[in-house]
Amino acid sequence: MPIAVGQPAPEFTLKDQNQKEIKLADFAGKRNVVLIFYPLDFSPVCSNEHACFVNDLKQFEKLDAQVLGLSVDSVWAHKAFAEKMGISYPLLADFHPKGAVADKFGVYLADKGITGRAVAIINKAGKIAWFKNYDISVVPDMNEVAQALAGVK
């Protein structure tokens, strides 16, 4: 079951593509978080999804949000993907134990060994303010995510 709106977001610490530890708690009281769960680096739909987030990053920053990507790929795969795609926001490696953080949010697909596609907006209080699961083959609508973010108090 996916996590429900209003619930506290599960705390986590994961390494990004630059080997930096990123903690969800680091953003508490400071910024909203747009947490992008996606299956795999370099897959066609994921590449399109991240191209959209890269293009719209300024819009999310204006809405006082930190964008974070998360998949089961390693930090090394994330580094290569970020360099190829021009991604400046952290890509978090939910690599070992595989999918542990995604599982806490209810989006790890154990039968496939990948993270499902979903977007969670976590407010400054650390609660799930908006959450949507997407089909693996669907790129999330950036306007929908931005509108949901704009409504977060």
- Residue 33's pLDDT is what? 98
From first to last of its 153 residues, what are the pLDDT tens digits of the chain?
A: 789 999 999 999 999 999 999 999 999 999 999 999 999 999 999 899 999 999 999 999 999 999 999 999 999 999 999 999 999 999 999 999 999 999 999 999 999 999 999 999 999 999 999 999 999 999 999 999 999 999 997
46 has catalytic annotation: yes
- 9 neighbors 127 (Cβ within 8 angstroms): yes
Rounded Cα distance between 30 and 20, Å, is: 19
Q: What is the model's pTM?
A: 0.96
> Which among 132, 148, 137 has a CA at the least distance from the CA of 36?
132
Which of the following is catalytic: 35, 46, 72, 101? 46
- Residue 1's pLDDT is what? 77
- 46 neighbors 134 (Cβ within 8 angstroms): no
